[in-house]
């Protein structure tokens, strides 16, 4: 059980709730803040004060006054009119991540929703209600209006949910089966629920969590490739990296040294002066991506513990302030940064794979890492390198920054938007592609290790080798390989890192 307070949510907790289905509860002090902000909204309506989205229309209709008797209809119309997403639905884990981030923002007590509204969102998580949310249609400002509105439609009993068989079905019977009455939105509540960065932040959290783990996996695949290619650890010495002390590259070099302990392959060629860049400069490349991920982590931690709707309510001061916290630019820029960082892990990994399959570059391995007597009759690992090349090429297209592409909306009222949700979706896709690239490098590295026998891998690399070989046997002649890639991918990150760390201690 994870207790949400509004102030201390972590990326790991988002992952545990969204992906592992850990249940949530609401902190009692947060519940009191909800009551206070709701009472303030009721006073605003009673007094007839002009407050955007409470007693006025939305967007370019900001100057249209809404009477007290129409405030509920205003909120319901907002959700119905804004639930206009298109495309394939967001995954279950992406919707769940979006819901938990939205809850956490509301709990700070500056949004004006009733506690029972948040309680319903909690039920969605704990009872695994999966709203149908089309993935396309958010420009990331004013927040994630379209996708969040699809979630709220389900709260109103009007949208659709996706069942365990992947079928879309009407939401009202699902709510009734759980004893839930459809939500009747009150003043400010529709706007508070759909006006924020929860979708881009939720998807971004999962992409970031996976990237953090994948950074370690790429250090593992790097170490194994370095060994199989008979490389040298000279460029990995601590004293070398202290002369250019970027933290990420220091960590990468240390991880590789640790994994290669007791290796029978590295530093065995006394004539080996220096390696190709994909081996020698890997700490600099991996390290730059690691440093980017560290910065992204800081930004995302702030974001998921922020209030991101509008207007902002200050009940103690009696103020309602129209501001721009819904703008997704902070998320958009770091998701674009994450795209680049993870794409670079995959780029340099594919180059190491290419070296292993190329007899002109592999330091004596047979062509495409198939026994010489089988070469020609068998193609070996020729085509997995093609696949890695295709994936990194696709990543290059996806890595084009979304955040620099703004198109005005709402008749020019919203004249700069972030495209943050596009950036987050692309970042998540790049991470998934990169995972497959890592699986291909690991697959080739273990094959190379077999071909180097009786030379032995380092302690950490050998442990990973055994873990992979427990699932995927050595290839002596051509066989179907897509299942091998699937099996190795399924070991990433948990089983790969567990094997390495049990052998040599924690990797950073």
- 72 pLDDT band, cuts 50/70/90, is confident
pLDDT digits (tens, 9 = 90+) for 132-180: 999 999 999 888 999 999 999 999 999 999 999 999 999 999 999 999 9
Domain range for 478 is 204-307+321-504
Residue 315 covered by a domain = no
Residue 67 covered by a domain = yes
Q: What is the pLDDT of residue 71?
A: 81
Q: How many whole angstroms separate alpha carbon 226 and alpha carbon 352?
A: 8
- 414 pLDDT band, cuts 50/70/90, is confident
Which of these, 114, 55, 85, 82, lies nearest to 195 by C-alpha position? 82
Of 179, 196, 213, the residue at which a domain comes to its end is 196
Report the pLDDT averaged over residues 453-476. Answer: 97
Which of these, 435, 499, 497, 443, lies nearest to 474 by C-alpha position? 443
Q: Both 242 and 158 in a single domain?
A: no
Q: What's the CATH code of the domain at 472?
A: 1.20.200.10
Of 196, 214, 245, the residue at which a domain comes to its end is 196
Q: Both 22 and 47 in a single domain?
A: yes
Q: What is the pLDDT of residue 264?
A: 95
Q: Both 145 and 215 in a single domain?
A: no
pLDDT digits (tens, 9 = 90+) for 276-304: 999 999 999 999 999 999 999 999 999 99
Q: Both 86 and 212 in a single domain?
A: no
Residue 431 covered by a domain = yes
- 345 pLDDT band, cuts 50/70/90, is very high
Q: How many whole angstroms separate alpha carbon 412 and alpha carbon 86?
A: 23
Report the pLDDT averaged over residues 178-184. Answer: 95
Q: What is the pLDDT of residue 68?
A: 77
Q: Does the structure show a pLDDT above 80 at 64?
A: no
Residue 312 covered by a domain = no
Q: What is the pLDDT of residue 144?
A: 96
Residue 48 covered by a domain = yes
Q: Both 231 and 380 in a single domain?
A: yes
Average pLDDT value for the chain: 95
Q: Calculate ∠ Cα 445-451-456, nearest 5°.
A: 75
Q: Both 489 and 376 in a single domain?
A: yes
Q: Does the structure show a pLDDT above 70 at 59?
A: no
Q: Does the structure show a pLDDT above 80 at 269?
A: no
103 burial (CB, 10 Å; 0-12 / 13-18 / 19+) is buried
Q: What is the pLDDT of residue 270?
A: 67
Q: Does the structure show a pLDDT above 90 at 221?
A: yes
- 198 pLDDT band, cuts 50/70/90, is very high
Q: Does the structure show a pLDDT above 70 at 60?
A: no
pLDDT digits (tens, 9 = 90+) for 20-41: 999 999 999 999 999 999 999 9
Residue 222 covered by a domain = yes
Q: Both 366 and 420 in a single domain?
A: yes
Q: Both 126 and 235 in a single domain?
A: no
Q: How many whole angstroms separate alpha carbon 256 and alpha carbon 290?
A: 14
Q: How far, in Å, are 23, 124, 255, 261, 289 from residue 4 at the CA level?
A: 10, 15, 35, 43, 31
Q: Both 133 and 34 in a single domain?
A: yes
Report the pLDDT averaged over residues 81-87. Answer: 97
Using an 8 Å Cβ cutoff, are 101 and 202 in contact? Answer: yes
Of 196, 214, 242, the residue at which a domain comes to its end is 196
Q: Both 152 and 275 in a single domain?
A: no
Into how many domains does the chain fold?
2
Greater model confidence, 126 or 413? 126
Q: What's the CATH code of the domain at 15?
A: 1.10.275.10
Which of these, 86, 19, 59, 17, lies nearest to 143 by C-alpha position? 59
Q: Does the structure show a pLDDT above 80 at 63?
A: no
> Running DSSP on this structure, what letter comes out for residue 229?
T
Q: Does the structure show a pLDDT above 90 at 185?
A: yes
pTM score of the predicted model: 0.95
- 55 pLDDT band, cuts 50/70/90, is confident
Q: How many whole angstroms separate alpha carbon 141 and alpha carbon 138?
A: 8
Q: Does the structure show a pLDDT above 80 at 364?
A: yes
Residue 480 covered by a domain = yes
Tell me, yes or no, if 381 is annotated catalytic.
no
Q: What is the pLDDT of residue 412?
A: 86
Q: Both 212 and 186 in a single domain?
A: no
pLDDT digits (tens, 9 = 90+) for 113-131: 999 999 999 999 999 999 9
Q: Both 186 and 256 in a single domain?
A: no
Q: Does the structure show a pLDDT above 80 at 446?
A: yes
Q: What is the pLDDT of residue 209?
A: 98
Report the pLDDT averaged over residues 392-406. Answer: 97
> Catalytic one among 52, 209, 236, 465?
52
- 229 pLDDT band, cuts 50/70/90, is very high
34 burial (CB, 10 Å; 0-12 / 13-18 / 19+) is buried
- 273 pLDDT band, cuts 50/70/90, is confident
Residue 348 covered by a domain = yes
């Amino acid at each position: 059980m994870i207790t949400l307070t509004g102030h201390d949510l972590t990326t790991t907790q988002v992952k545990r709730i969204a992906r592992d289905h850990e249940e949530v509860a609401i902190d009692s002090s947060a519940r009191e803040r909800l009551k206070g902000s709701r009472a303030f909204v009721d006073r605003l309506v009673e007094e007839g004060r002009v407050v955007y989205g409470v007693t006025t229309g939305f967007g370019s209709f900001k100057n249209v006054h809404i009477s007290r008797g129409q405030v509920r209809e205003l909120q319901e119309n907002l959700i119905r009119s804004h639930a206009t997403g298109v495309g394939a639905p967001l995954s279950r884990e992406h919707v769940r991540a979006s819901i938990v981030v939205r809850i956490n923002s509301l709990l700070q007590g500056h949004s004006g929703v009733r506690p029972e509204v948040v309680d319903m969102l909690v039920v969605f998580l704990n009872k695994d209600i999966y709203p149908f949310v089309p993935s396309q249609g958010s420009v990331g400002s004013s927040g994630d209006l379209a996708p969040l509105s699809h979630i709220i439609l389900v709260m109103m009993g009007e949208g659709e949910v996706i069942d365990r068989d992947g079928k879309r079905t009407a939401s009202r019977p699902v709510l009734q089966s759980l004893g839930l009455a459809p939500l009747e939105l009150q003043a400010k509540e529709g706007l508070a629920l759909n006006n924020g960065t929860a979708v881009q932040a939720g998807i971004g959290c999962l992409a970031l969590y996976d990237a953090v783990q994948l950074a370690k996996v790429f250090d593992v695949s790097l170490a194994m490739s370095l060994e199989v290619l008979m490389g040298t650890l000279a460029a990995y010495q601590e004293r070398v990296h202290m002369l250019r002390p970027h933290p990420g590259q220091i960590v990468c070099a240390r991880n590789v040294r640790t994994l290669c302990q007791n290796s029978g392959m590295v530093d065995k060629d006394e004539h080996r002066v220096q390696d190709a860049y994909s081996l020698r400069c890997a700490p600099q490349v991996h390290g730059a991506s690691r440093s980017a991920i560290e910065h992204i982590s800081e930004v995302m931690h702030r974001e998921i513990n922020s209030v991101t709707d509008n207007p902002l309510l200050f009940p103690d001061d009696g103020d309602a302030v129209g501001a721009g916290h819904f703008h997704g630019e902070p998320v958009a820029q770091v998701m674009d940064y994450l795209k680049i960082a993870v794409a670079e892990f995959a780029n340099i990994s594919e180059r190491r794979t290419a070296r292993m399959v190329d007899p002109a570059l592999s330091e004596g391995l047979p062509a495409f890492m198939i026994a010489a007597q089988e070469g020609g009759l068998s193609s070996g690992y020729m085509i997995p390198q093609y696949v890695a090349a295709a994936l990194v090429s696709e990543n290059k297209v996806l890595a084009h920054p979304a955040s620099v592409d703004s198109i005005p909306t709402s008749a020019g009222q919203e004249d700069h938007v972030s495209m943050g949700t596009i950036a987050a979706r692309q970042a998540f896709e790049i991470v998934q592609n990169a995972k497959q690239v890592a699986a291909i490098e690991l697959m080739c590295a273990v094959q190379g290790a077999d071909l180097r026998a009786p030379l032995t891998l380092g302690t950490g690399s050998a442990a990973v080798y055994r873990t992979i070989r427990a699932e995927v046997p050595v290839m002596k002649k051509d066989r179907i390989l897509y299942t091998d890639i699937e099996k190795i991918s399924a070991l990433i990150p948990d089983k790969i890192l567990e094997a390495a760390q049990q052998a040599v201690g924690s990797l950073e």
